[in-house]
A and B are shown apart, each in its own frame.
Chain A
Amino acid sequence: MFLTLIRQELLTHLMSARFFAAVIITLLLVVANTFVLIGAHEERLADYSQKEAVNRETVAATPAYSVLKLKVQRPPNPLSLFSAGLETRFGSDIDIAFDSVPALSDPIADIKPDEEYQWTFNRVPSVSSPGAPLGLKNPYLHLFSQIDIVFTFQVVLSLLSLLFAYDAIAGDWETGTLRLVLSHPVGRGSVLLAKYLAAMACLLLPVLMSLLLALIQCSLSRALQFSTEDFLRIGGIVLTTLVYLSVFYLIGLLISTITRRAATSLMLCMFLWVVLVLIYPNWSRSALNPVGNMRAEKRSADRQIAQIREEADRERDRFLENSPLRGDPPIFFDTFDGTDFFKGGGWYRGDFPRVNVEIELKNTADPLVTHLRRYYEFAATLHIQNAEKVSLVGEQLVAQISRRQARWDERLMKFSPASLYTFATAAWAGTDLDSMTDYIRAAQIYRRTLIDAFHERDAFASLQWFSTNQGTVDWSILPDFRFERADVSINAQRALPELLLLVFINLVLFMVTFLIFIKIEV
């Protein structure tokens, strides 16, 4: 009997015009959006490899250690097709420098005056955060929001599951079939379960079909290659999708059981859908800001950083007191004015005078050269220390402001199952906040290994640190940077809280529906 019920439900769903129309629309939307997304991904990939090449060339052409301008990139994540998350909004370029530590964001940027930065020696940059978003040659196109596959499921299929559910009980009750069915020796629980299973099977169909189409489209493009792990992640996304759709089906079923009139149930379902999927996530993000703007904290951190820099300046001045070098660092014009120490003009490069010095030495035997070397070694170490001290403050600030704000937004948004679904899939795809943090960590570690490699070579104290005519620099000492996305198990771990919450909502909804259903009169 149970099987007959399922079969009958399945047939009514599958043969219905609404199912057919919904599947067609879902497929159409997924195909169109996948087309756009694959194009954007290809653009990003081309951009990535071009930047890599440019970086390699720049490094190879760098004549001295101190003027090294190193950038690292993150390869674009192919799973951003499914869930864009932060991937397309978050930049990829990070400057790797001795005097700045990569950070997730620069929360005090907005309390700085509206001037272009006027760098002086005191104002060594502390934070190098990833710049402009990835992709899109024309940045103005960011005015159009990009839609990923998960969003399509989130909107269209949740609507479809409500449309399956709103008359499941109420409709049967009105037409009298419910009474008829229950007159057979079948439990009310099994009727409910049969309806649920049949609907879920029907919902799985468009999910799998559009997934298949998307994968076919991907295989046509050479830019997108999924590894085995990626397929596991996609499996995770499909699982989450099912759990999410089941939430909406059960919401519909509950309303249908309570109202007993198909028309009322429909209205309630539709309004609830609009609120949960469209309104609430946007509303909570733009109307609520529980963290506030944290101006005081930002100011105090700014002061703290200024103090650290002043301290560094004092230390530098102390060092220079005992040195015969006169004039302004890092070139000391006053000391060398009139000597034949340098050749040519315009000796330092870089946007602001920090440790980047590029000099053609004429006379290496000059005793001043030794002093200069000592100073540069001292300055480099000072800058590295300074950057790390500043970074401690910065990290704290990121945790206290940027990350806290993002977390609060997420928490509030999670009152809607639609947002739970978004965050869970972003975690599976590796485009969530945690994955971006992984990237920053990797860049920080890379900076450390780079400094260690320089130390090993004694590069900071060498002539090649600042002079361009002491032989070409051996750049093979640079360690390679390659960012690897986190393991699937870690992705699963990150997706688990949201997934469990969704499952929990499912259970509660099912229990409540069941309890009400066994009590109602038919």
Chain B
Amino acid sequence: MRHIVRRELLDHLTSLRFALTTLILVALMVTNAVVHLQTHPERVRKYSENVSASHTELKSRTQLYELLRKGPGKLYKRPSALAFIADGGDAFLPSKTVSAGSWTRYGSASIWAMGVPRLNMDSISNLRPTATVIDWVFIITYLLSFIPLLFTFDALSGERERGTLRLCLANSISRPALLVGKFLGALITVLIAFYFAVLFNLAIISTESWTQLGGADWGRVGLIVLIASCYAGIFIAVGLIVSAMTRESRLSLVVLLLIWVTVVVFMPSTLGTLSTKWMPSVQTHHQFRMARGKTFDQIKSDFLNKRETLRERRQSTETSQAEVAETDISELEIQREFVSKDMEMREQLSREHLAAQSAQVLRARQITRCSPAAIVQYALESMAGTGFNRHLHFLDSSRLHIRQFRNFIVEMDRADPESLHIIGIRKGMSEKPVSPAAIPIFQDKLTFQDTLNPAIADMLLLILLLSVFLAGAFLVFLRSEV
């Protein structure tokens, strides 16, 4: 068997296709690295500028009430150091949280609530022609599927045409050994070219201190390269299956190319939008705002009724001083209820609106996983810390931070004995200045686990596909006539 692998390798490595493959892969990987070197520093600079501006603004607030009313400032998504691996539509996905709007009415003011983060529509609706970013995802999903087919389409059918297959099997070589030899020969050839290009890419990226990778990043890159190898293996197995089934290598190539076009080029996008046709439709932004307005009106009229009854009671009865003070406090209580209910309502509706949208996207992505190209794309995005999973993770961690931020305010207020502890109303809250150092600061962290967890299912799926197709290749080849 080792003999076969060596022969196959020698055959492939000296062929024209290997030279062309290496050339294209290296050219694309170098482009990718150079573009990353040019764009990444700008991204990081913008992020840190934004974050420091947001911090300064936050630290300038010393009143607890102001902190509550203006919120934790804008929370920004940290750009991934591995953005060159998977772009993931990050230019389009929201990069920061926004507030759900504010108002001042009836002597009270709204307190900060997290709203629906804005998508950057400018990234789509500019005048420049559309194009896919040349990231690793592009290179891997398109080329590491196309090239394996070119190496395998004539692996069996070509030998059968020339009669060398019969010759080979006449020797004491078993069919499985031959197949494994062919598989490994093609896989190693493709991977040699790919690894070579990857080394080029990483070498260029490591030259600049701005873009140097940390320890965990290297681990991620390693896993990504493994995923890519597995993906190439799948297409080599598919190539062997079709090659074993057809008598003519020309036909085998046509069938493979058509499978490739459908699975790699069309399925990831067409299936995604096609599947949403049969999903329950989501609220449009307009409907969402209408619904929010309606709920707000309800809360508002509730509040006005309560206040009215309170005021009537105050006017109708002859009241002592203590009672006046008490009704004042209960008016504050009613205001607090109004303000906090409104905040919860706005936050909840935004969350539900987002959740419905995300659920649709996630389901559509689930269906596009019929295509290994989509699986690889999602796995790589998760590993690189970009794309939709990263977006969901960012939202989760911002929500966590907002909870902590509110707890901090409540606790600071509780520590002040002079405060009325009515959270949400200026008069009801502590007026002691807060030390800027104590205010919790949002840190957007992405641990290795955070990136690995969503990718594990995709990785397992890829391994499953690889073994299924390999088994298929064995079955087909064992039963085929030579």
**Interface residues, chain A, with chain B CB atoms under 8 Å away:** 17-18, 21-22, 25, 28-29, 32-33, 35-36, 39-40, 86, 89-91, 104-105, 109-110, 114, 130-133, 137-147, 152, 155-156, 159, 163, 167, 263-264, 266-268, 270-271, 274-275, 278-279, 281-287, 402-403, 405-406, 409-410, 413, 419, 422-423, 433, 436
Contact = CB atoms under 8 A, between A and B. Distances in A.
A137 B281 contact: yes
B124 A89 contact: yes
Interface string B165-204: 0000000000000000000000000000000000000000
B261 A25 contact: yes
Contact of B128 (A33, A144, A152, A285): A285
B109 interface: no
A159 B127 CA distance: 29
B255 A21 contact: yes
Given A21-B254, A147-B270, A409-B128, 7 more contacts: A28-B262, A89-B130, A138-B276, A141-B273, A142-B119, A274-B24, A279-B28
Contact of B277 (A39, A114, A142): A39
A22 B250 CA distance: 13
Q: Which of B31, B132, B143, B273 has the most A CB atoms < 10 Å from its CB?
A: B273
A28 B258 CA distance: 11
Contacts of A21: 254-255, 258
B24 A271 contact: yes
B265 A155 contact: yes
A275 B24 contact: yes
Contacts of B50: 114
A25 B257 CA distance: 11
Given A144-B268, A406-B128, A278 B92 contact: no
B134 A283 contact: yes
Q: Which 9 A-B pairs have the closest CB atoms?
A: A285-B131, A144-B272, A18-B254, A406-B127, A282-B131, A145-B269, A271-B20, A132-B121, A25-B258
Given A114-B50, A133-B121, A413-B129, A143 B361 contact: yes
A403 B127 contact: yes
A159 B268 CA distance: 19
Contacts of A159: 257, 261
B224 interface: no
B357 A36 contact: no
Contacts of B150: 267, 270
B121 A139 contact: yes
Nearest to B284: A137
18 contacts: A25-B258, A89-B124, A114-B96, A132-B125, A137-B284, A138-B360, A140-B388, A142-B89, A143-B388, A144-B268, A144-B273, A152-B266, A271-B20, A279-B134, A285-B130, A405-B128, A406-B126, A409-B129
Q: Which of A18, A91, A138, A406 has the most B CB atoms < 10 Å from its CB?
A: A138
A433 B129 CA distance: 9
A282 B138 contact: yes
Interface residues on B, range: 35 or more
Contacts of B272: 141, 143-144
Given A25-B261, A267-B17, A274-B146, A139 B119 contact: yes
Nearest to B362: A140
Given A146-B273, A156-B261, A286-B134, A91 B125 contact: yes
Given A29-B266, A286-B133, A405 B127 contact: yes
B397 interface: no
Contacts of A139: 119, 121, 285, 357
Contacts of B261: 25, 155-156, 159
Nearest to B272: A144
B245 interface: no
Nearest to A28: B262
B109 to A, nearest CB: 16
Q: Which of B122, B257, B360 has the most A CB atoms < 10 Å from its CB?
A: B257
Contacts of B128: 285, 405-406, 409
B35 A286 contact: yes
A22 B124 contact: no
Contacts of B250: 18, 167
A419 B417 CA distance: 72
A163 B125 contact: no
Nearest to B15: A267
Contact of B254 (A22, A271, A283): A22
B16 interface: yes
B23 to A, nearest CB: 9
A422 B130 CA distance: 11
A455 to B, nearest CB: 33
Contacts of A39: 277
Nearest to A436: B127
A114 B73 CA distance: 13
B62 interface: no
A410 B124 contact: no
Contacts of A133: 121, 124-125
Interface of B: 16-17, 20, 24, 28, 31, 34-35, 50, 53, 74, 89, 92-93, 96, 119, 121-122, 124-134, 138, 142-143, 146, 150, 154, 250-251, 253-255, 257-258, 261-262, 265-266, 268-270, 272-274, 276-277, 281-285, 357-358, 360-361, 364, 368, 388
Nearest to A84: B130
B389 to A, nearest CB: 12
Interface residue SS majority, chain A: helix
Nearest to B150: A270
A82 to B, nearest CB: 16
Contact of B269 (A22, A140, A144): A144
A18 to B, nearest CB: 4
Contacts of A267: 16-17, 20, 150
B33 to A, nearest CB: 11
B397 to A, nearest CB: 19
A436 B127 CA distance: 9
A263 B364 CA distance: 40
A25 B129 contact: no
A104 B125 CA distance: 11
A287 B273 contact: no
A146 B258 contact: no
Nearest to A284: B131
B125 A130 contact: yes
B89 to A, nearest CB: 5
B200 to A, nearest CB: 15
Contacts of A423: 129
Contacts of B93: 143
Contacts of A22: 254, 258
B171 to A, nearest CB: 25
Q: Which of B93, B146, B154, B254 has the most A CB atoms < 10 Å from its CB?
A: B254
A36 B274 contact: yes
A281 B282 CA distance: 35
Contacts of B34: 287
Given A137-B282, A155-B261, A17 B251 contact: yes
Contacts of B268: 144
Contacts of B265: 155, 278
Contacts of B130: 89, 145, 285
A140 B360 contact: yes
B132 A143 contact: no
Contacts of B126: 105, 402, 406
Contacts of A109: 122
Contacts of A137: 281-284
A18 B273 contact: no
Contacts of A131: 121, 125
Nearest to A86: B127
A155 to B, nearest CB: 6
Contacts of A28: 262
A287 B134 contact: yes
A65 B287 CA distance: 28
B262 A29 contact: yes
A372 B35 CA distance: 58
Contacts of B358: 140
Nearest to B23: A271
Nearest to B76: A114
